[in-house]
Every structure is written in structure tokens, then in C-alpha cells.
Amino acid sequence: TQLLEQSPQFLSIQEGENLTVYCNSSSVFSSLQWYRQEPGEGPVLLVTVVTGGEVKKLKRLTFQFGDARKDSSLHITAAQPGDTGLYLCAGAGGSNYKLTFGKGTLLTVNP
């Protein structure tokens, strides 16, 4: 069974601060996805990383896939209240089309 551990589970910061969320596994994934979920809504895909060592940027969000494709990080620069939400990582493994989700990081950015 593939498991994804996310940390921290909860994060409360002030507007303007930087933060990093981690997603770790002992398994290798063919790709890793990050989602954001707002209250009362379904998760929405932010990015997919595929290649070991890959870095993708989405405005103030930077996503990195580990060289061994077992871990990933999400870094937010100068967080804003609009970044508040549940961030989920999900791994896809090889020919296994099922996604494995981490338990999520609940981020609160206070004005």
C-alpha cells in the first residue's frame, strides 16, 4: 500500500509570511499532484509534477518533486488570506491509475 505523509497537518500564519508544506512517501510515484480545497467545495487541481527534481511555479506557489520521485514540497511566498484552504498532495503510481492522497494541510492565513 502506498502512503503519503503530509506535514504539517495544521498551519496558521500571518499575511506576508512564507511557508512550506511537505509530502513524503517511501514509495516511488510516476507523478504527484497538488490540490487546494475550500470549505464546502471539492478539491481543485493546482499542479502536476512528473520528472524527478522538477520545479513548477504558479504565481507565488512553488512546487518541487524530489529527485527520487518519493516526495514533494509546496512553498508559498508572501501568503495572502486568499491562500487559506486545505492543501492535498496525491500520488499516481506507474500503471496504477488510482490516486493516493495525503491527509492534507489546513492552512489559515490571517490578515
Partner 1 sequence: NAGVTQTPKFQVLKTGQSMTLQCAQDMNHEYMSWYRQDPGMGLRLIHYSVGAGITDQGEVPNGYNVSRSTTEDFPLRLLSAAPSQTSVYFCASSPGGTLTWNTEAFFGQGTRLTVV
State yes or no: residue 46 binds partner 1 (CB under 8 A): no
User: Cβ contacts of residue 68 below 8 Å, gap of 6+?
Assistant: 28, 52
- Does residue 42 belong to the site contacting partner 1 (CB under 8 A)? yes
**Judged by CB under 8 A, which stretch of 18-26, 53-61, 76-84, 97-105 contacts partner 1?**
97-105
Which range binds partner 1 by CB under 8 A, 11-19, 54-62, 70-78, 95-103?
A: 95-103
Question: Footprint of partner 1 on residues 7-36 (CB under 8 A)?
Answer: 30-31, 33, 35
Strands 105-110 and 10-14: parallel
Cβ count near 108 (within 10 Å):
13
Closest-CA residue to 64 (of 82, 83, 51): 51
Cell digits of residue 37: 480545497
Residues that bind partner 1 (CB under 8 A): 30-31, 33, 35, 40-45, 48, 50, 88, 90, 92, 97-99, 101-104
